[in-house]
Structure 1
Amino acid sequence: RINGNDYIENGWELKDTLRLAPLLEKAGAVYLHISGGVYGSTELTIPSMYTPQGCFIHLAEAVKQVVDIPVITVGRIKDPVHADSIIKEGKADMVALGRSFLADPEYPNKAKAGMLSNIRPCVGCCLGCIHAVLAKEPGSCVVNPDVGREYKLAEETAVTETFKVLVAGAGPSGLAAARMFALEGHEVMVCEKADSTGGLLALAATAPGRGELGDILRFFNEELDRLAVPVRFNTPLSKELLDEFRPDQVILATGSMPDMPVIKGLFKTKMDLITSVDVFNEADTPGKKVIVLGGGMTGLITADTLAEKGCEVVVLNRRKSFAEEMSSNDRYYLRERLKKGNVTLYKKVSVTSFSDDGVAFTSNGENVTLSGYDTVVISEKHQPVREAKTLEKKSDAHFHIIGDAKTPRHLMYCISEAEEAGRAG
């Protein structure tokens, strides 16, 4: 296995690989596996969702022109149709997959059987796999919580008693829970107050470069269709619904909403005051000069979205680091995007007060005053939405809270918690 390009200054380039490949063939190599990137390179060896699928194919294709032995390609090739087309078009003789097999170990069997919609997709977040390993933690997978504990799951016994389960909320947690309950043989129904599934994750998938987050939602939706799990839209959890369905268990997966901070002058400013959710669902149109309060993952993705729309953006991060909840690989590409956009980042911020058209604050101990802004976007903490828990007193069902409704966290915990609930019955 060799690099087609190191993607670093004074590093190995494709022209070098094209000289080496025939020599390796002559020396007896039976195949060449062409990858790219090293630690610290501008193109990471394990790239995130921001990079095109099949990002290293062109390297293998070039090598294939100078050797007669089989050439293998790799690099975010997650769709079997895409993989097939690479081979049919003569760009490579074989396709190597890594993270896709973590997301779904049955990927080859499902592809061979033509069950493409049943393949659980990698979303390229790099969080459960490479990020965890680099942090010296057990590797796993955001979309497949079974990874790393298969031996424990093999010891589980089959369900002997089935229940009626009502899942309130069709975001990723609710969909994952409904799927797992159905797979375990329970009778399941989902109610959702909105007119579509996905919750906040569906909004996040509209951000630049993050569309693949929607792939896991499509998988869950297709799974519920396959398992004949009904989803009632525009239907919040209510006593009437409980009386009608008469569930044994209710799973509250009702998500979270942005929390509004209390800061001097914030609610008296003449600037428009909106949230990141408003930006993504286009409920409000931001102005041209925007202050984003919050430097976590959502704050940076919001800033990127606004910058792509032509806004001048300032991000105020009250923490010491940006987007700590993201994997380092994913964060790298987002930070690179922000460098190219009209975005200014401040960290270790302590806000003194908001004015009619700006804000005064300290950053790293230095005083800063900004003016001439027209919009403030709140993108810091989220608070759980679980008012429906009060209905437990009016029902014989046992209520369980999962996902953001329990505590707002990232997707890995939401799906893992949901599947645990489904297995526990």
Structure 2
Amino acid sequence: GPRRVNGNDFMEGGIGRPEQQAFAAALAAAGADAVSINVGWHEAQVPQIVAKVPRGVFAYMAREIKKQVAVPVMAGHRINDPQTARRLIDEGFCDLVAVGRALIADPRFPEKAAAGHDDRIVHCVACGQGCFDHIFKNKAVECQCNPRAGHEEEELEPAAVPQKVMVVGGGPAGMFAALAAAERGHRVTLHEGGLRLGGQLHLAGRPPGRSEFLVLADDLERQLAVSGVEIRMDSTVDRRLLELERPEVLILATGGEPIVPPIPGVDLPLVVQAWDILAGNRQAGRKVAVLGGGAVGVETALYLAEEGSLSGDELKFLLVHGAEQPGELYRLATEHDREIALVEMTGSLGANFGKTTRWGMLQDVERYGIKPLVGARVVEITPAGLRFERGGQIIDLSVDTVVLAVGTRARNPLRQVAEELGLRCVAAGDAVTPGTVFEASHQGWQAGRTI
């Protein structure tokens, strides 16, 4: 039968590529029908499963083993779309591919790929929130991109009486709510106040290694295009429109808004919200303090750090042409001109990251020279920077930009109006309680399926 081997365990003093290649050749000679190439190990310091891992990046190990054996060789790890799979096979990296989490995100992945319906595939975005993070918590496997995962026995029954449903908000909660309601046969209209769907997915996809969240936004938009949902962009929903439309069910997925903490000086010109930095609406200076060491704060700090380092294309050019030595290229990949401090009141950074993601993020904080200031309470922001209390001492930090990343609060301006009009109303996502994309997706789906 087939056998799985490790191409490289990425462990100091471990078994490297030459030894693993010899082992794979010995397995094939001993009668293995095929070899499947795994990589890494749980304690390895090289990320293997998170979104920052480029698609198909480890397939080179399969190609090296393929040259030494006469049996089929299978590549895996971060192959979440048919285009990558076909490219790896066509270019001789492997004979076939192993797809794991992509089948949780879309169990019909192989069927759609075989039929040439690549554009209908829901892609795994390697967030780990519903699969690996749940496993580490001894919880059932679910999926951010596929709310059906883990709930396959819960059929979406056709609505006994189709109703007129209005969904307000085109973020993940609103999009999933609209899809679920439409699948049940309701007449659904989705109102989005901006000019694009996806909501905060467009912010989540901006930090380094997080662009897969933009893929989820695209996938949801494509699903909506064939769902029968009427989409109204640049649409302001107010009392007048609600009185005019009179929906039988109103789903409020109006999202959240960044918190402005009650700190003296928070209204000074050097203060900016992390959302504005990630959206590209504001620029940071060279000396930056990010207030808030949760997921948004850490990712914003990394975004600012990577802005000043060389890109992958630039590094490859310099490497291929021998312009710099490898050690110098590493410095250029991680060095930047900014001084960045992460200021966090609690004793640790990134506490709201999942277990699969947090260690790599903290690794990058150290790698990019970002200064963590944990256990620090900001008492004042001044034109010259900020003043914080830490360990009983008051400390002044000179910066030219203060980035706020202290959390999100629910934004739900229509609930009271809906109640006054006697409309049946349900809320989902950050409009209820700010949380993760996983939580918004599942709350939206649940709102749509229970009408």
With normalisation by structure 1, the TM-score equals 0.94
**Separation (CA, whole Å) in 2 of partners of 1:241 and 1:118:** 33
Q: Tell me which residue corresponds to 1:287.
A: 285
**Separation (CA, whole Å) in 1 of partners of 2:377 and 2:246:** 51
Q: Is it true that 1:314 corresponds to 2:313 in the alignment?
A: no
Q: Is it true that 1:377 corresponds to 2:380 in the alignment?
A: no
**Separation (CA, whole Å) in 2 of partners of 1:149 and 1:166:** 25
Displacement over 6 Å in runs of 4+:
none
Contact 2:158/2:185 (8 A) holds in 1: no
Q: Tell me which residue corresponds to 1:180.
A: 180
**Separation (CA, whole Å) in 1 of partners of 2:347 and 2:120:** 42
CA deviation string 1:140-188 (max 9, x = no partner): 111122222223x14x643211111111110111111111111111111
**Separation (CA, whole Å) in 1 of partners of 2:51 and 2:291:** 25
* Percent identical: 30
**Separation (CA, whole Å) in 2 of partners of 1:55 and 1:366:** 48
- C-alpha distance 401-368 of structure 1, shift in aligned 2 (>3 A): same
The within-5 A match list for 1:109-188 is 109-151=111-153, 153-154=154-155, 157-188=157-188
Q: Tell me which residue corresponds to 2:56.
A: 54
**Separation (CA, whole Å) in 2 of partners of 1:125 and 1:412:** 9
CA deviation string 1:276-302 (max 9, x = no partner): 111112222222111110011000111
The within-5 A match list for 1:10-409 is 10-45=13-48, 47-151=49-153, 153-154=154-155, 157-263=157-263, 265-267=264-266, 272-310=270-308, 311-363=338-390, 365=391, 367=393, 369-409=395-435
Q: Is it true that 1:417 corresponds to 2:416 in the alignment?
A: no
**Separation (CA, whole Å) in 1 of partners of 2:291 and 2:412:** 25
Shift of 1:128: 1.0
Q: Tell me which residue corresponds to 2:332.
A: none
CA deviation string 1:322-368 (max 9, x = no partner): 222222222233223322324111222223433432333344x3746
User: What is the SS of the residue equivalent to 2:414?
Assistant: helix
Counterpart residue identity of residue 163, structure 2? F
Q: Which moved more, 1:289-298 or 1:391-400?
A: 391-400
Q: Which moved more, 1:407-416 or 1:368-377?
A: 368-377
User: What is the SS of the residue equivalent to 1:371?
Assistant: strand
Q: Which moved more, 1:109-118 or 1:288-297?
A: 109-118
Contact 2:260/2:266 (8 A) holds in 1: no
Q: Gapped runs of 5+ residues in structure 1? A: none
Q: Tell me which residue corresponds to 2:311.
A: none
Contact 2:128/2:357 (8 A) holds in 1: yes
Contact 2:89/2:96 (8 A) holds in 1: yes
Contact 2:259/2:408 (8 A) holds in 1: yes
Contact 1:271/1:374 (8 A) holds in 2: no
Q: CA RMSD in A?
A: 1.8
How many residue pairs get matched?
Answer: 419
Counterpart residue identity of residue 12, structure 2? E
Shift of 1:314: 0.6
**Separation (CA, whole Å) in 2 of partners of 1:321 and 1:161:** 51
Contact 1:72/1:94 (8 A) holds in 2: yes
**Separation (CA, whole Å) in 1 of partners of 2:17 and 2:257:** 48
User: What is the SS of the residue equivalent to 2:237?
Assistant: coil
**Separation (CA, whole Å) in 1 of partners of 2:218 and 2:139:** 29
Counterpart residue identity of residue 395, structure 2? T
**Separation (CA, whole Å) in 1 of partners of 2:445 and 2:354:** 22
**Separation (CA, whole Å) in 2 of partners of 1:296 and 1:404:** 17
User: What is the SS of the residue equivalent to 1:345?
Assistant: strand
CA deviation string 1:214-241 (max 9, x = no partner): 1111111111111232221221212232
- C-alpha distance 44-282 of structure 1, shift in aligned 2 (>3 A): closer
Contact 1:167/1:250 (8 A) holds in 2: yes
**Separation (CA, whole Å) in 2 of partners of 1:172 and 1:100:** 19
Counterpart residue identity of residue 149, structure 1? H
Counterpart residue identity of residue 87, structure 1? I
Contact 1:60/1:92 (8 A) holds in 2: yes
